[in-house]
C-alpha cells in the first residue's frame, strides 16, 4: 500500500511544472498577471560579458543552426547562465537563461528531453485575479496553498515551447531578470526558446553543468 502511495505521489509531482511563474518585482504589463513574463528581458543585473556573435553583441542569443546536420545536444551552464546548442560537434546557438534560485536550484546532471508542449501551462503556479476588474489579487499563487475566492480566477502561468528533461523541470520561454530566478526550470528569451523547441526531438541529451 505504501509503495502504491509513493508511486502515485511521484506521478502526481511530474504533472506539475515547478517553474516560478514570473519575476514578482518586474513592473511590465501584459494580459498575464501584470508581468511581461513572456517577453521580459533585463540583463542589466547580470554582471557578465554579453554574448558576442560575428563581432556584434547578441543580448538575446543567436542561432546559426538552420541547415546544419548532426545529432543535437544542449549544454546548460549554471555559472554562465547560458545554454549552448550543438549539432554534432558544431555550436549552432547560444542563449542567456535564468535557472533555479537557492532552494529551488536546477540540478546538475545528464538528462534527455522527455516531453514537448508548445502551449504548456504550469499546473502549480500562477496568479489569482479579480474576474471583473482584471486586478491581480495574489501575484505568486500556488495551487497547493492558494484558492480563488468569489469573483476570482486562478490563472496558470504560461510556459510556451516547454521541453521537459528532469521530472517537473524543463526549458521554456520566460522572463530573464539577469540572474537565477525560477523554481528550477530554465527560462529563455522567446526567440531562442522557439529555435531550441523546433530543432529538438524527443530524447535529445541535456547536460546541466
The residues assigned a catalytic role are 172, 185
User: What residues contact 178, with CB distance under 8 A and at least 6 apart?
Assistant: 42, 43, 44, 45, 46, 47, 98
Give the helix, strand, coil percentages of the chain, each rounded to 5: 10, 40, 50
Query: How are beta strands 72-77 and 205-208 bridged, if at all?
Result: parallel
Closest by Cα among 111, 74, 112 to 93? 74
Sign of CA dihedral 51, 54, 56, 62: negative
Give CA–CA dist 103/49, Å, rounded.
Answer: 27
Measured in whole angstroms, how far is the alpha carbon of residue 208 from the centre of its chain?
Answer: 14
The answer to whether 23 and 40 are in contact (CB under 8 A) is yes
Query: How are beta strands 82-87 and 115-130 bridged, if at all?
Result: unpaired
Amino acid at each position: 500500500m505504501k509503495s502504491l502511495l509513493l508511486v502515485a505521489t511521484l506521478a502526481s509531482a511530474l504533472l506539475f511544472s515547478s517553474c516560478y511563474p514570473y519575476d514578482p518585482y518586474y513592473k511590465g504589463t501584459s494580459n498575464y498577471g501584470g508581468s511581461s513574463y513572456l517577453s521580459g528581458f533585463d540583463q542589466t543585473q547580470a554582471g557578465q560579458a554579453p554574448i558576442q556573435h560575428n563581432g556584434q553583441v547578441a543580448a538575446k542569443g543567436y542561432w546559426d543552426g538552420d541547415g546544419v546536420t548532426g545529432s543535437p545536444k544542449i549544454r546548460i551552464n549554471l555559472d554562465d547562465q547560458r545554454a549552448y546548442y550543438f549539432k554534432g560537434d558544431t555550436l549552432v546557438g547560444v542563449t542567456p537563461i535564468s535557472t533555479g534560485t537557492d532552494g529551488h536550484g536546477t540540478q546538475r546532471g545528464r538528462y534527455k528531453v522527455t516531453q514537448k508542449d508548445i502551449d504548456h501551462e504550469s499546473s502549480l503556479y500562477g496568479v489569482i485575479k479579480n474576474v471583473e476588474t482584471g486586478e491581480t489579487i495574489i501575484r505568486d499563487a500556488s495551487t497547493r496553498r492558494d484558492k480563488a475566492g468569489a469573483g476570482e480566477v486562478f490563472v496558470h502561468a504560461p510556459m510556451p515551447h516547454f521541453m521537459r528533461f528532469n521530472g517537473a523541470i524543463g526549458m521554456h520561454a520566460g522572463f530573464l531578470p539577469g540572474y537565477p530566478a525560477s523554481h528550477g526550470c530554465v527560462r529563455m528569451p522567446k526567440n531562442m526558446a522557439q529555435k531550441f523547441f523546433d530543432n529538438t526531438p524527443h530524447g535529445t541529451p541535456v547536460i546541466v553543468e
